[in-house]
Amino acid sequence: MNRKPLLILLSIIVAGLAAGCILKYSRQSHAREYSRQFFAMDTVMSFTAYGERGEEAVEAAVQEVERLDALLSTGIAESEVSRINASGEGDLSEDTEKILSEGLTIWKQTGGLFDVTIYPLMQLWGFPTGNYHVPTKEKLKQTMSLVDSSKVILDGNHVTLGEKQKMDLGGIAKGYTSNRIMEIFQEYGVTSAMVSLGGNVQTLGKKPDGTDWQVGIQNPDNVQGDLLGAVAVQDQAVITSGGYERYFEENGQTYIHILDPRTGCPAESGLASVTIVSSNGMLADALSTSLYIMGLDEAEAYWRIYADEFDMILMTDDGTVYVTEGIRDRFRTKGKMEVLYREEP
């Protein structure tokens, strides 16, 4: 078996990020800049904030990430999520309740393609541990019966899972975390900032020089750093999902980490990557995966219903890039680009 797990590579076109902690001034705007790079939530994170209290803001944000990781990680035995998975029920903290509630809402809106109870399937394929293997049809059928968010009962801050169910909030947790970071930055008076949570990018305001942040989007056909394009944003999250991020090979077949709850198997939608641009990082995080599973036509139909909440950039397996009309003038690519309209022109 050839195992090839890959780190998420979503390049950020912004100067000033480096390892460790950096405090300096932007030459263009004379704004005080503080940057911090660290490891959390199983990925490398980079935070940059501008302002007199930028250092305090970044350090407070780092502490918040560590706190949320301790609550939400399925890989930490003492986490709140692990405790619920072990007992099948329990009281939730305010953060976990908010995330689970939003996850259940998106589950309904996506017709079940975003499912917080998918964890047993992820375990079956070996993605949480890296012990990858293709399950038997019998095991797959047995495990599929556990993936159904309709069995999850959320009553206030108390949750009850279905029998033998386990939840995983990883498909939405980083988006919630980046939202929280933006709130913390604002509490410290920061008006210009950018964070990357392992490739999940979220921005606050504009760059200190008054221009938009330019966020580069990884080309799925070249995971060594080549860009598909770049999108100009302010006060928005830019989150990408694709099969190139993590996968393994067995008997000449490639199996990606994005599982389709309808089949229990890796998604085969004809899409190479999906990028969601939204002011809501939590929504962008969840939709980047669920719209990848949908495929081009279904994702386009979904966007037409909820176009006020997000825009998207889709790349199909044949290399065609589709961009929704809301960001067509803010996205640049060297490849062939088609614009998707809410109403046909």
Range 172-181 average pLDDT: 98
Please indicate, yes or no, if residue 129 is contained in any of the structural domains: yes
Residue 142 CB burial class (10 angstroms; 0-12, 13-18, ≥19): middle
Half-sphere exposure of residue 135, counting CA atoms within 13 Å on the CB side? 21
Q: Please determine, for residue 342, whether its predicted confidence score (pLDDT) is greater than 60.
A: yes
Other beta carbons within 10 Å of 18:
12
Tokens coding 37: 């790079």
Coil/strand/helix, residue 317 = coil
Listed in sequence order, the residues at least 6 apart from 249 whose beta carbon sits closer than 8 Å to its beta carbon are 1, 2, 3, 4, 255
Please indicate, yes or no, if residue 220 is contained in any of the structural domains: no
Element holding 38 (H helix, E strand): strand 32-40
Please indicate, yes or no, if residue 128 is contained in any of the structural domains: yes
Task: Check if the beta carbon of residue 264 is closer than 8 Å to that of residue 138.
Answer: no
Please indicate, yes or no, if residue 26 is contained in any of the structural domains: no
- For residue 1, the model assigns a pLDDT of 45
- For residue 323, the model assigns a pLDDT of 98
Instruction: Supply the range of the domain harboring residue 144.
Output: 87-165
Range 73-81 average pLDDT: 97
Q: What is the pLDDT of residues 239-298, one digit of tens each?
A: 999 988 889 999 999 999 999 999 999 999 999 999 999 999 999 999 999 999 999 999
Establish whether 281 is an annotated binding residue: no
State which amino acid sits at residue 281.
G
Task: Check if the beta carbon of residue 293 is closer than 8 Å to that of residue 113.
Answer: yes
Establish whether 171 is an annotated binding residue: yes
Range 138-143 average pLDDT: 97
Establish whether 95 is an annotated binding residue: no
Please indicate, yes or no, if residue 138 is contained in any of the structural domains: yes
Distance between CA atoms of residues 307 and 278, nearest Å: 10
- For residue 226, the model assigns a pLDDT of 79
Q: Please determine, for residue 88, whether its predicted confidence score (pLDDT) is greater than 60.
A: yes
Average pLDDT, the chain: 91
- For residue 199, the model assigns a pLDDT of 81
Please indicate, yes or no, if residue 328 is contained in any of the structural domains: no
- For residue 229, the model assigns a pLDDT of 94
Task: Give 12's pLDDT tier (boundaries 50, 70, 90).
Answer: very low
Pairing of strands 192-197, 43-50: antiparallel
Tokens coding 61: 């944000």
Question: Which pairs from 131-138 meet CB under 8 Å and 24+ separation?
Answer: 132/1, 132/3, 132/248, 132/250, 132/255, 133/1, 133/250, 134/250, 134/253, 134/255
Q: What is the pLDDT of residues 185-221, one digit of tens each?
A: 999 999 999 999 988 999 999 999 999 999 999 888 8
Range 54-75 average pLDDT: 97
Q: Please determine, for residue 68, whether its predicted confidence score (pLDDT) is greater than 60.
A: yes
Report how far apart, in Å, the C-alpha atoms of 59 and of each of 54, 210, 257 are. 9, 25, 32
- For residue 223, the model assigns a pLDDT of 56
Q: Please determine, for residue 13, whether its predicted confidence score (pLDDT) is greater than 80.
A: no
Range 170-177 average pLDDT: 97
Of all residues in the chain, the percent with pLDDT exceeding 90 is 84
Please indicate, yes or no, if residue 294 is contained in any of the structural domains: no
Distance between CA atoms of residues 57 and 316, nearest Å: 39
Of all residues in the chain, the percent with pLDDT exceeding 70 is 90
- For residue 29, the model assigns a pLDDT of 52
- For residue 24, the model assigns a pLDDT of 53
State how many domains the chain has. 1
Task: Give 53's pLDDT tier (boundaries 50, 70, 90).
Answer: very high
User: % helix / strand / coil in the chain, to the nearest 5?
Assistant: 30, 30, 40
Residue 127, domain CATH: 1.10.3980.10
Q: Please determine, for residue 328, whether its predicted confidence score (pLDDT) is greater than 80.
A: yes
For the chain, counts of helices (H) and of strands (E)? 8, 20
Please indicate, yes or no, if residue 134 is contained in any of the structural domains: yes
